[in-house]
Amino acid sequence: MNSQNNIEKIGEPALSPHKKLNSKESVSLNRKKKWKDAGLFSLFVGPVFLTFAVIVLIPFFTGVYYSFTDWNGVTGNVSWVGLDNFKYLFTEDKQFQASFLLTIKYTVVTIILTNGIGFGLALLVTQMLKTSNILRTVFFMPNLLGGLLLGFIWQFIFVKGFASIGQITGIPLFNLAWLGDQHTAFWGIVIVSVWQGAGYIMIIYIAALQNVPQELIEAAKIDGANRWEILRNITMPLVAPAVTICLFLTISSSFKVFDVNLSLTNGGPFKSTEMLALNIYTEAFVNNRYGLGEAKALIFFIVVAAISIIQVTYNKKKEVES
């Protein structure tokens, strides 16, 4: 009898403990959920976006507007001049053109030296040496100093320190007018920048080298590969993502060099070492031609952004191919 009742209960449709929602109530609940998610998103992202807009977006678009005006940065008189600022830069402003070419030269040299020395230091300190931790600290310490302070320190070294060493040793290298000649002053800026940036790049390469599987290296050694073959065929392809990051960082920092240039030479002698960022600063805040300075800054932004995008895209493509 009980089994018959159970069979009958099984045949009956199961009743839901909750009332089934109709379509209107379902739409209302989905709408409330969306508003709740949007509120939470705004709560977490809103302050960050507002700060980013105030600090970055608004000044950027304001600067783009001023690049088409003749505003001097002081008075309230702003006149629209269209493309006149850009025409002037490409036809008459020889100092801007010279600074642009000098910055490109400086960027190429600094990228090669910073990445080469940084990678070499990373290879050195990843060897099983007793002094590896001390060497990492020593090589990274210059990056902790600010560019202005670093420039003034090296200015004293180039002017006073090298002169004293030259008098004692008689070595011609130390008797050069390092900051008084345009050629040696350029290399002085390069030396300081590479000395400061190589340690930071070294840390990125160390992280990449430590992720290289040791089994591959041991297998290559067993097969008779030497250190150069291991470096070229195993290590370099595996650290390619780190190379992409380091190239991006060094390109952007080299193009934007300002503090070392200002404190070490201030563009001298006779503006022969005036990089693009210092030229923009001088135009806007010293010569009080803010509109022209913004036009230079806009060109500067477009060039750096284009080079960075091309570099990252090309290196990512090479990573996939390798």
73 within a domain of the structure (yes/no): no
pLDDT at 156: 92
Number of structural domains (the chain) is 2
**Residues 145, 283 within the same domain:** yes
Q: Provide the 10 A C-beta neighbour count for residue 165.
A: 15
**Residues 176, 226 within the same domain:** yes
8 within a domain of the structure (yes/no): no
> Taking Cα atoms as reference points, which of 15, 69, 12, 86 lies closest to residue 296?
86
11 within a domain of the structure (yes/no): no
159 within a domain of the structure (yes/no): yes
pLDDT at 1: 47
**Residues 37, 147 within the same domain:** no
Token pair of 312, please?
Answer: 């990252």
27 within a domain of the structure (yes/no): no
Domain-terminating residue out of 66, 92, 126: 66
**Residues 96, 56 within the same domain:** no
**168 burial via Cβ count (<10 Å: 0-12, 13-18, 19+):** exposed
26 within a domain of the structure (yes/no): no
Domain-terminating residue out of 16, 40, 66: 66
CB 107 within 8 A of CB 189: no
Length of the chain: 322
**Residues 242, 268 within the same domain:** yes
Render 167-229 in DSSP notation, one character per residue. Answer: HHH--GGGGS-TTTSHHHHHHHHHHHHHHHHHHHHHHHHHHHHHTS-HHHHHHHHHTT--HHH
Domain span holding position 44 = 32-66
CATH number of the structural domain spanning residue 173: 1.10.3720.10
CB 278 within 8 A of CB 261: yes
Q: What backbone phi and psi angles, to 5 degrees, belong to 257?
A: -55, 130
**Residues 259, 317 within the same domain:** yes
**Residues 46, 142 within the same domain:** no
**Residues 144, 256 within the same domain:** yes
**Residues 144, 242 within the same domain:** yes
**Residues 53, 142 within the same domain:** no
Q: Which residue has the tokens 């493309």?
A: 83
Give, for all 322 residues of the chain, the pLDDT tens digit.
Answer: 444 444 444 444 444 444 555 666 677 777 788 888 888 888 888 888 899 999 999 999 999 999 999 998 888 888 999 999 999 999 999 999 999 999 999 999 999 999 999 999 999 988 877 788 888 888 998 888 877 888 899 999 998 999 899 889 888 888 888 898 888 999 999 999 999 999 999 999 999 998 888 888 889 888 888 888 888 888 888 998 899 899 989 998 999 899 999 999 999 888 899 999 999 999 999 999 999 999 999 999 999 999 989 988 888 787 666 6
CB 197 within 8 A of CB 114: yes
Q: List, for residues 117-175, the tens digit of each pLDDT value.
A: 999 999 998 887 778 888 888 899 888 887 788 889 999 999 899 989 988 988 888 88
**Residues 47, 174 within the same domain:** no
**Residues 119, 43 within the same domain:** no
59 within a domain of the structure (yes/no): yes
18 within a domain of the structure (yes/no): no
Render 212-246 in DSSP notation, one character per residue. Answer: S-HHHHHHHHHTT--HHHHIIIIIHHHTHHHHHHH
Q: Which residue has the tokens 């200015």?
A: 155
Q: Identity (one letter) of the amino acid at 110?
A: T
